[in-house]
Every structure is written in C-alpha cells, then in structure tokens.
Chains A and B, each alone.
Chain A
Amino acid sequence: MIDVQNLRVSFGQGASLVHAVDGVSFSVREGETFGLVGESGCGKSTVLRALCSLNPDWTGTVSIAGAALAPVPDRAFFRRLQMVFQDPYGSLHPRHTVNTTLGEPLAIHNIPDRDRRIIEVLDQVGLGAAFRYRYPHQLSGGQRQRLAIARALILEPRVLLLDEPTSALDVSVQAEILNLLSDLRRARGLTCILVSHDLAVVAHMCDRLAVMMQGRIVEELDVAALSAGRTTTAYGAGLLAASRGYDKRLASSLTADEPGA
C-alpha cells in the first residue's frame, strides 16, 4: 500500500545543511498500522510531512496505493491520503464552525450530499449532530481531536497518517481517542502510519514498527517482539527501557555514554 525507498529530506543550505531524514525505507501493507518511534527530533514527523507533500523538498521514491507520489500531487491524491495532527488546539481554524471545517474538504472536491455526510461523520467519531454549529473554542481537547479525525475521514481516504494524535491530550482522553481510531481503522480498513514516542500507544495500535534515530531507521520489529522486549539493537533496547519509566541507573549509564559528559 505504501512503499518508501531511500527517502531523504534536508533543511538549510551549505554549512547549515541538516539531513532531517537520511535514507529511510519501509513499506506498509494494506490494512496494516505501522508505527514510527524515536526520540524528539529524530525525523519521524518529517517523514509524515513529506508523505503528505507538506514538505516538497524530498528525494527518493514513494508510492502510495500503487501510484508514485509527485512533488506537487494533484487534488485527487488527497482523497486517498489524509492526516491527523498532533495538537487539536492548533489544527482547527478558530473562526470556522464544525460545519464549515467539515464542509471545506467536500467543497474543495465538489462532493455532493454535504449535509448527510457531515452528520454521518460526526456520528462516527462520537460527536453527534448537536456539535455541528459550534466553534472550536466551545469544544474540549478530546472533542477537538474527534473533529480533526472527522475532518480527515470525511474524504474517505484509504491511508491515514497519525502524527502523535494523543500526545497533546489528557491521559483519560487518550484512551478514548485511541479506541476510536482502532474502531474506525477496523471498520474502514484503513492503512495507517502512526508516529509516536509513546511505546505503549504504539504497542496498542500497531502491527509493526520502526525505530528511528537521527534520520535513519535503525530497527524494524513487530509488536509481539516489542511486547516481549526482543530488540536487536542497543538503541532500541535503550528506548524500550526508557519507556518503562525513570530509572536512575539507566539514566546515568546513558549520560556516561555521551561524549563530553
């Protein structure tokens, strides 16, 4: 479904050139959820932004649903692929009502039957038609993220990119959103890429995952191996150990490894 070969993304020029993503390859099968994990700044979000063409300066070959990704894709491309952003407080237009937010993608793609589709998708994400004429500031964080998911789904995409969809939310709301995403994924047969630094979220949602470090994939493993703690690289093992909570001995051994520490 998604095939990425040797993806490179760099920012800046000359001496300040930074290879944010440095030759990443992976593939995701149809209906599968693939996790990208790694510490902050390892390039996992940049991979997602390149896949949905928010960052046009990439090299490599990417094919999505059998078609090669063009640097400037046509409008039809976006009906196959949508994205849910990390921060629901920043990803919704503050002056657009729920109705406008959901009607916009339909208007862009000239899709008829807007009223029915909007009410339908609001029901599917558990908001209901009563929310239709509210502004984002009248919604809670969880409700906003549900709206963002509804906006991504209203075009009925086959691929959904999830950029840390729960990290900006309250712990109690995180589980709700994750369950909603699993349900929708199953009901619609979505292929997903989930970016997260929370290994528990990845273990809950994904079938397979890749560990990224400094713009490269250092390790790919399936979720069973993750749960059993069977990592093949030292970095993967370190990440796993770090996710189990703060450990004084581990922390001091990590800082001891760093040059200059």
Chain B
Amino acid sequence: MSTARTWLRAEVTTSPLHARLQRGYYGWLRLRSNPLAFAGFLILIGLVLVAALAPVIAPLGYNEQSLAMRLKAPSAEHWFGTDELGRDIFARIVWGARITIYISTLVAVIAAPIGLAVGTTAGYFGGWTDTVLMRINDMFLSFPGLILALGFVAALGPGIGNAVIAIALTAWPPIARLARAETLTIRASDYIAAVRIQGAGPLRIILRHIVPMCVPSVVVRVTLNMAGIILTAAGLGFLGLGAQPPTPEWGAMLSTGRQNMLGAWWIAAVPGCAILLTSLAFNLFGDGLRDVLDPRSE
C-alpha cells in the first residue's frame, strides 16, 4: 500500500500511464479533502450500487401487487410503505434508480459532445460559422427547457427514450455557450499559435488542443445541470409524458402519489426525497469537481 503511494507521489514520472495515474491520484486527494463534494460523490456511488444490485436488494421486482396491502404506512416489512396497488415503494425506488441513472447518463452522453462540438467550432472559426451556430443556439436557448421537451415528446410520443432525446436537445445549448467562451480565450493563447506554426489543421487543433481545455468546465457544468435534467425527467414523468406505468420512474411515482397525498403522504414523499437527494448529490459533487479537474492546482 505504502509503496503504491510513494510510486503515485514520485517526483519523476516514468511513463504516460504513471503521469496520468498521478494526476488522478492528486485529483482524488483533492476530492477527499472537500467533505461536501465527497459526500455528494458517496451518495452517487451509493445510487449506482443500488441500481446495479436492484435484483438482490429487491428480489420481488417493482411490480409485485397485493391489493390487500394497499396504502400501508412505512413499517418493518415495507420500509417506505406501499402504494395504491399494494406495491412495495422501497422496491420501486430501488428499481427506479436504474431509470434515473439511465436518463442522466444518456442525456450527458448525447448533450455534452454536441455542445462541445458546436461551441468549440463556433469559437475557433469565428466569423460566419460562429454567427450561424450561435443563432441556432439562441433559438434553442430561448425556449424554456421543459416546454421544448414537452413539444418534442408530444411530437415523438411519450416514453423514456423520447424523453431522453427531448431533454438532451434542451441541454446542449448552455454547454455550447460555455465551450465557445472558453475557446475564445484559448485560441488566442501562445500554445495554440505554437501548434498552428507546427502546421496542424483546424480539426487537430480543436480535438487535441482546445477540447481538452474545455472538458473540465463542461464536465462541471453537466454535473451541475444533472440536477435540472433529473427534475425535468421527473417533471415529464409527473405530467405523464415520460416513463409510462408500471415503470417505477420517480417523477411518475410522485404524480400517482399526489392523489393520495392527504391519506398516504409516503407515496409522494419518498420519491420526492429520492429526487431531492440525487439532485443535491449532483450539485455538491459538481462543485467539488471544479477543484479536482483544475490542472493548475496540482
């Protein structure tokens, strides 16, 4: 253990892997030294574990109905109580974690590259390219996200897949804005001038020299946006336009719980708390990630 640690802290790194691992190790130490960000990180790890181990934690599945056990308050048998069809809410929350992770990862995977590509291209080339791309960006930005997503879902039909596409389409413009602003400062720097007089073409400069500088702020931004994305997904679910029953999507669960809110508070409160906790975790983690990803603070 201690030899591994000395190797990671070595003054002289001996291979590309070593250099990369060392950077990762120092990033990890910075994350550890920030208790709030680390707490957010632990909650997210917990969420991933719960989602991965759902069949072990809740072996009966999320759709096991028992009408005799309708609307039971939280007890030792049903930790979070049961809903109007007698389904165990704990099991549904556990299985619902999978959907939350599915939506947030897919949105990040779609929106971040689009935003990065549009932003860096507009920022690097400037002129007409910039004007055209940024006006398209403005068009997307000028719609409220949920309304635009509603429109897309209405056009494409309800369902998780379409909800993801709709949310991704509303999530990329702020990322593109951010990437463009970063690119404008980066492209004026001497290290970009240096690679230009080595004869590099625009594609190489953008992909290998500008994108790596934009990635940290984009990752932070996406992480901070993740809370909003989860809320939008839950909002679509709440309106009945996201995940369809009996899928245990947290927003949809909240929506059905609303009908029994006065008699059975737990049906709405539990998924609400799950959404709150996950959004909070993403926000805390995103804030700390800024320090972790800054190469100058090493």
Residues of A within 8 A of B (CB): 49, 52-54, 75-79, 81-83, 85-87, 90-97, 99, 104-105, 108-109, 130, 133-135, 137-138, 148, 151, 155
Contacts and interface: CB of A to CB of B under 8 A. Distances in A.
Nearest to A85: B190
B191 A90 contact: yes
A108 B200 contact: yes
A130 B190 CA distance: 25
Interface of B: 12-16, 18-19, 23, 189-191, 193-200, 204, 208-209, 212-213, 295-296, 298
Tell me what chain A mostly uses at the interface: helix, strand, loop, or mixed: loop
Given A104-B200, A109-B198, A133-B16, 15 more contacts: A49-B193, A53-B197, A78-B197, A78-B198, A87-B190, A91-B193, A93-B195, A93-B212, A94-B296, A104-B198, A105-B198, A105-B199, A133-B14, A135-B23, A135-B298
A148 B213 CA distance: 19
Given A91-B190, A94-B295, A137-B296, A52 B19 contact: no
A31 B296 CA distance: 40
B199 A77 contact: yes
Closest 7 CB pairs of A and B: A91-B190, A78-B199, A75-B199, A133-B13, A133-B19, A105-B198, A90-B190
Q: What secondary structure prevails in chain B residues at the interface with A?
A: helix
Contacts of B197: 52-54, 78, 81-83
A54 B212 CA distance: 22
Contacts of B190: 85-87, 90-91
A83 B194 contact: yes
A155 B200 CA distance: 13
15 contacts: A53-B197, A54-B196, A78-B198, A85-B190, A85-B193, A90-B191, A91-B190, A94-B191, A94-B295, A94-B296, A95-B213, A104-B195, A108-B200, A108-B204, A135-B23
Contact of B194 (A76, A81, A85): A85
A97 B19 contact: yes
B195 A133 contact: no
A95 B198 contact: no
Given A82-B197, A108-B200, A93 B191 contact: yes
Contacts of A85: 190, 193-194
Contacts of B16: 97, 99, 133
Nearest to A163: B190
Contact of B295 (A49, A52, A90, A137): A137
Contacts of A137: 295-296, 298
A135 B26 CA distance: 13
A134 B15 CA distance: 9
A95 B12 contact: no
A53 B15 CA distance: 35
A109 B197 CA distance: 12
A255 to B, nearest CB: 34
Contacts of B208: 104
Contact of A91 (B23, B191, B199, B295): B191
A54 B193 contact: yes
A108 B13 contact: no
A49 B196 CA distance: 11
Contacts of A134: 12-13, 19
Contacts of B200: 104, 108
Nearest to A90: B190
Given A90-B189, A137-B295, A108 B198 contact: yes
A52 B198 CA distance: 10
A92 B198 contact: no
A87 B190 CA distance: 8
A91 B19 contact: no
A96 B211 CA distance: 12
A51 to B, nearest CB: 10
A133 B15 contact: yes
B194 A135 contact: no
Contacts of B189: 90
